[in-house]
Amino acid sequence: MIGVYDSGVGGLSVWRELYRIMPEQDYIYVADGAHCPYGTKPIEFIISRADAITRFFLSKGAEVVVIACNTATAAAVDYLRGKYSIPFVGMEPAIKPAALASKSGVVGVLATANTFKGSLYNNTLEKFASNVKVIEKVGTGLVECVESGNTEGEEVDALLHRYVDEMKSEKADAIVLGCTHYPFLEGAISRIAGEGVRIFNPAPAVALQTKRIIESLDSPKSSNSRYLFFSTGDTKIMRSIVSQIDPILSDCVFETVVID
């Protein structure tokens, strides 16, 4: 059983990559919808939510936890690894591949305020982005758009122009998606950024790292895979996104739960 969680539905962008390469695994997904978004909340609060959700996963038999949230990874992954013995996989900012791929030497990063403050992001920046110019933009309002099921249209475009236009004017040819909600806006981001700008989504790499860990555990595979989806808020948008990932998943378990 692999536990996957995010402040909301954004982590499903990671879940779909896990499902794509390991459909035979059991999964339990938690959207902490009652407390979404995490982007500007106190670090201590995010850690307390991570701890509570991890205990929930353990009660359900999870052997690996994927923190499918850049903000929660930055705030809580070290705490969780210090407290629990199971493996935790966090989000790694895709700074390195973006910096290596950039021909203009300018990279845009779209993330939350807490992600930009985190040591993980800043250590990655120092290590891999010393030779490029990095333009950081806090994507205020984008998480809320995705959480409401709004991934295209005038409201989304207006917000994205606010963040992407400056990157374009500075000749950025790579944009890093530093929040797991943002891949659901990738089509709109790519359209507004225009030709010649590559979008970097770390979710496939996170899924591959999780697969390596699962293989190292050598746990027996389920003969009848289970996909469970829980939210501390509403499950409507989550159900819709999961059904879009694979229509056969529409009959999975979707429940609202209290996790304290």
Question: Annotated catalytic sites, by residue?
Answer: 69, 179
Q: How far apart are CA 32 and CA 39, in angstroms?
A: 13
For 259, half-sphere exposure in the C-beta direction (CA atoms, 13 angstrom radius) is: 29
Question: What interhelical angle do 43-59 and 70-83 show, nearest 10?
Answer: 60
Q: Read off the DSSP letter of residue 178.
A: E
Token duo for residue 239: 């159900």
Q: Are β-strands 2-6 and 27-31 bridged in parallel, bridged antiparallel, or unpaired? A: parallel
Cross-strand bridge partners of residue 65: 3, 88
DSSP codes, 94-157? THHHHHHH-SSSEEEEEE-HHHHHSHHHHHHHHHH-TTSEEEEEE-TTHHHHHHTT--SSHHHH
Which residues are CB-neighbours of 243 under 8 A, at least 6 positions away?
249, 250
Token duo for residue 50: 């991570």
